[in-house]
Amino acid sequence: MPWTSRPRRCPVLGDGALEQLKREGRIVVVGASLAGLRAAETLRAKGFVGSLTMIGDEPYEPYDRPPLSKGVLLGRARAHRTALPRLRSVDATWRLGVPATGLDMAARRVRLADGDDVPYDRLLIATGVRARPWPRPEEAELDGVFVLRTRDEGAALARRLDEGPKRVLVIGGGFAGSEVASACRERGLPVTVAERGAAPLVGALGGVVAAVAAGLHREHGVDLRCGVMVTALEGDASGRVRAAHLSDGSTVETDVVVVSLGALRNTEWLNGSGLGAGPRGIACDAGCRAFDIRGIVTDDIYAAGDVARCPHPLFGYQFLSLEHWGNAVAQAGIAAHNMLSESIDRLPHMDVPAFWSSQFGVNVKSVGVPSMATDILISQGSLDSRRFVGVYGYQGRVIGAVSFDHGRWLPFYKELIERTAPFPPQFPTVDRHTDGQQPMDADFPDPSVPSHGPTVTLSGYSPADRRMTFTPAH
Amino acid sequence: MTHTLLHQILDYANRADPYPIYEELRRTPVHHEADGPYVISTYYEIRSLLHDPRISSDARNQASAGADPLAESAPEGSALPPSFLRLDPPEHDRMRRMTNRHFGPPHSPHRVDAMRPELHDIVAGLIDGLGDPGRIDLVEEFAYPFPVTVICRLLGVPREDEARFHTWADTLAASLDPDPDADPAERGKGAHEARMQLGMYLAGLIEERRKNPGDDMLSQLATAKGQDGPMTTMELLSTAALLLIAGHETTVNLISNGMLTLLRNPDVLQRLRAEPRLAVPIVEELLRFEPPVQLLPGRTTLADVDVRGVTIPKGSTLWLVLASGNRDPQRFENPDRFDPDRPDIQHLGLGSGIHSCFGAPLARLEAQLALSELARRLENPRLLDDPPQYRQNAVLRGPRHLRIACDGIRP
């Protein structure tokens, strides 16, 4: 981590405003989930003793989401027992069950749905994402149609699976959809997965690896349909879903539908605020400071977690928004630190993206940004055995890696990414197979063709995704 | 004897406190002498190499690399096939996976924890049986018999055979602990004999368990029919031998080093007596501060590998000095201070990567129970020798005897 070895200069204390902020300032965190909680803990750990307000739209204290699509669906964990452990006391005023509805940047106030508003000296936005709903509201409201993002949604789906449905239809074969399908199969439930792309996970990992994922689905008895869209959901007289119609003309009879079409960023409440926030998230600098719509960085508003978009030097300074657990934790720490720091002491968020999934008994891990790649080399293990490491290449350098049941090697590949090592890697490794000697086309779908939402979004556009009138000065 | 750093590591005179030598080593993170191994002593470099797929653990690769001052004390010079400790993937993965199926999650998530009451009974029995409180050898009377009894119960060695099993285990463990005064040929013969007898005993037991399986690990390994197929008898034997040897000597040292450290830090011992749950962070800090496995000597480079600007050529032998990495001031603040309150303690004491300690959950639990019970029951314990007499072995480092006295044993 190069920035930690930087010689420390004497902090510019200015007029003592920072010390005053720490002592008696008001910090508001909107979003009471993983990023919000970890940021609050960091603020306290860094000596902030002023007032701290945590605002969350759900009525629950911060909880962990990964179990919702795994242990909870298998009946091994309970949705209401996934509260995140507290690393330290945060001594905050909790405003739970009350969504934020607006932001007044000039007056430094956050408006709440109950009509209240909360003043701040520093604001952290960690409102995350929500599940993308089924696009037709009347079909989405049928009994038996679920999305899976929140604790309540997890509990409701788990209850329905307990009832032993005749067949579950999962729409979308991304990570969440695949995990749901895996849990259903483990419970012995018949399941159909409808994926618009050529195979599950194809948007995140490319066609070569997606073919392995497809094999896993089929081997575990999933009725996997690829290259199809669900065109309509049909209910019975009592308003309960009974069938889904597919673009290939076929029909799937089902009593539970899990819509797993990726996520929407929770930024609508910022519309009109003047902050650089839009459907792609909130544009920030590498230190998590939010941009306004003019592309000027704010000094009092920060963003962290799924809702943030930060430029990353390792990935061409593209803005990255990441729906990754570790990213939320790391960004929260950086944002909290920077909020309480003089400019010279601020830290950039430069972590290499990383995430994991568990499906069909296989541990899947990834580092870097595979979806940016053009090529892949199977550097260890083999696709046939479904135990392997795939290294992703882009313009002659290593840009990402994925492992199936080979996760303990990934730190090595992370280092290759961090030092922009050449692709394809030329060295021999343990467990190198003959089919891993040459790179091949990673086979990512055309990004302009919609698929399930990838968990990494690359977007090198302007900070605000809204139209602005550009008037050059003379 | 020359006075190169390598020889100083091996020199028994430095066994009681090797840490000043490690400190000197870290000045050259990649240390190389003549045709000896490349010695890596800094935290980040060791951790990196533990995840590096260009580094092989396969004994066959190392044999061809040659030139290793530790090669003579290789623990597995027998006719058994190599255990997964000395294999690379995919063979390693298959063997480790098959073994883990009956030991840890996801298939056996409760196995270790379910042993807690039994471990507690063994600990209690050993403490009850301690002789004259004025003269206790904690190694002989406690730290040594405890793990062997545990591994017997885990593998399913019948109680009546445990004594025989202990004898073989002692002889084998002693062969890992080269005594400069003993005749190496004589010792080698003894170890070979013990290995043969243990092997035959285990083979008989495996046969028996195939016919009448119980719920012990050997039965499960012998009758498993997973996706990887069954283990051959030879694979089973080498796996059982690995569990016995690796899961044994190391735990003895963890417990003995632990008690030694606690007696040198009476305030921590006092806290542990009052709050047994402190055993968890204490054992983690021990694994950093006094790791039972000081260094991993058995790795070989499959390619030229650059470490801190030094190119280690293909085919070189590596020593990864875990105990030195654990005291690297670049990684840990005040690394030479024993501090169970450290908030961040990602030590290398159990290795990392695919060969990270297989028995870690059991070793941790054994050490936690042993130390908290000793703290609770020994009245006013104190060291009779400091430093104690150490074993010869520089790799598996720990006291040969730990003589203590106390005023009495609480019930």
* 3 state SS for B36-65: CCEEECCHHHHHHHHCCCCEECCHHHHHHH
Q: Of A91 and B196, which is predicted with more confidence?
A: A91
- Rounded Cα–Cα distance for residues B351 and B323 (Å): 10
Element holding A106 (H helix, E strand): none
Q: Of B238 and B188, which is predicted with more confidence?
A: B238
- Rounded Cα–Cα distance for residues B160 and B165 (Å): 10
**Secondary structure class of A319 (helix, strand, coil):** strand
Q: Which stretches within B132-278 are classed as H helix?
A: 138, 145-155, 162-175, 184-211, 217-223, 233-264, 266-274
Which one of B43, B47, B51 makes the best mutation probe of the A interface by having the most chain A beta carbons within 10 Å? B51
Determine, for residues A430 and B51 on separate chains, whether the beta-carbon distance falls below 8 Å: no
- Taken in order B73, B76, B82, B85, is the CA torsion positive or negative? negative
State residue B259's pLDDT score. Answer: 98
* Chain A interface includes B308 (CB < 8 A): no
Determine, for residues B303 and A381 on separate chains, whether the beta-carbon distance falls below 8 Å: no
Q: What are phi and psi of B9, to 5 degrees?
A: -60, -45
- Rounded Cα–Cα distance for residues B141 and B402 (Å): 10
For residue A397, what are the contacts with CB-CB under 8 A and spacing of at least 6? A420, A421, A422, A423
Determine, for residues A408 and B303 on separate chains, whether the beta-carbon distance falls below 8 Å: no
Rg (CA), chain A: 23
Determine, for residues B90 and A410 on separate chains, whether the beta-carbon distance falls below 8 Å: no
Nearest CA in chain A to B306: A427
- Rounded Cα–Cα distance for residues B134 and B175 (Å): 31
B177: confidence class by pLDDT, cuts 50, 70, 90: low
Alpha carbon separation from A356 to A36, A179, A232, A377, B27 (Å, rounded)? 21, 11, 32, 20, 37
ipTM above 0.90, yes or no: no
Distance from CA of A110 to the nearest CA of B (A): 35
Residues of B in contact with A431 (CB under 8 A): 53, 88-90, 93
Determine, for residues B51 and A380 on separate chains, whether the beta-carbon distance falls below 8 Å: no
Nearest CA in chain B to A425: B54
* Chain A interface includes B91 (CB < 8 A): no
* Chain A interface includes B189 (CB < 8 A): no
Tokens 């002023």: give the residue. Answer: A50
Residues of A with CB under 8 A from a CB of B: 361, 379-381, 385, 387, 389, 405-406, 408-412, 415, 427-431
State residue A465's pLDDT score. Answer: 44
Determine, for residues A430 and B353 on separate chains, whether the beta-carbon distance falls below 8 Å: no
B72: confidence class by pLDDT, cuts 50, 70, 90: very low
State residue B69's pLDDT score. Answer: 61
* Chain A interface includes B356 (CB < 8 A): yes
Residues of A in contact with B58 (CB under 8 A): 430
Residues of B in contact with A380 (CB under 8 A): 53, 89
B171: confidence class by pLDDT, cuts 50, 70, 90: confident
- Rounded Cα–Cα distance for residues A428 and A56 (Å): 51
Tell me the longest C-alpha to C-alpha distance in chain B: 59
Residues of B in contact with A429 (CB under 8 A): 53-54, 302
State residue B172's pLDDT score. Answer: 77
Distance from CA of A412 to the nearest CA of B (A): 5
Which tokens go with B124?
A: 């209690």
Tell me the longest C-alpha to C-alpha distance in chain A: 73
Q: Where is average pLDDT lowest: A369-373, B61-65, B165-169, B205-209? A: B61-65
Going across the sheet that includes B382-383, the strands are B136-137, B403-405, B382-383
State residue A10's pLDDT score. Answer: 42
- Rounded Cα–Cα distance for residues A20 and A446 (Å): 52
Q: Of B100 and B175, which is predicted with more confidence?
A: B100
Q: Which of A379, A389, A408 sits opposite B353 (nearest CB)?
A: A408
Determine, for residues A412 and B354 on separate chains, whether the beta-carbon distance falls below 8 Å: no
Nearest CA in chain B to A409: B51
Which one of A383, A387, A430, A433 makes the best mutation probe of the B interface by having the most chain B beta carbons within 10 Å? A430
- Rounded Cα–Cα distance for residues B173 and B140 (Å): 13
B269: confidence class by pLDDT, cuts 50, 70, 90: very high
* Chain A interface includes B360 (CB < 8 A): no
State residue B362's pLDDT score. Answer: 96
- Rounded Cα–Cα distance for residues A394 and A373 (Å): 5
Residuewise pLDDT in 10s, chain A (474 residues): 344 444 444 444 556 899 999 999 999 999 999 999 999 999 999 999 999 999 999 999 999 999 999 999 999 999 988 999 999 999 999 999 999 999 999 999 999 999 999 999 999 999 999 999 999 999 999 999 999 999 999 999 999 999 999 999 999 999 999 999 999 999 999 999 999 999 999 999 999 999 999 999 999 999 999 999 999 999 999 999 999 999 999 999 999 999 999 999 999 999 999 999 998 899 999 999 999 998 899 999 999 999 999 999 888 888 899 999 999 999 999 999 999 999 899 999 999 999 999 999 999 999 999 999 999 999 999 999 999 999 999 999 999 999 999 999 999 999 999 999 999 998 999 998 887 789 999 999 876 665 555 556 666 544 444 444 454 544
* Chain A interface includes B47 (CB < 8 A): yes
* Chain A interface includes B354 (CB < 8 A): yes
Q: Which of A385, A406, A429 sits opposite B302 (nearest CB)?
A: A429
Distance from CA of B324 to the nearest CA of A (A): 21
State residue B77's pLDDT score. Answer: 46
- Rounded Cα–Cα distance for residues B202 and B351 (Å): 29
- The fraction of chain B above a pLDDT of 90, given in percent, is 69
State residue A12's pLDDT score. Answer: 46
Which tokens go with A26?
A: 């008001």
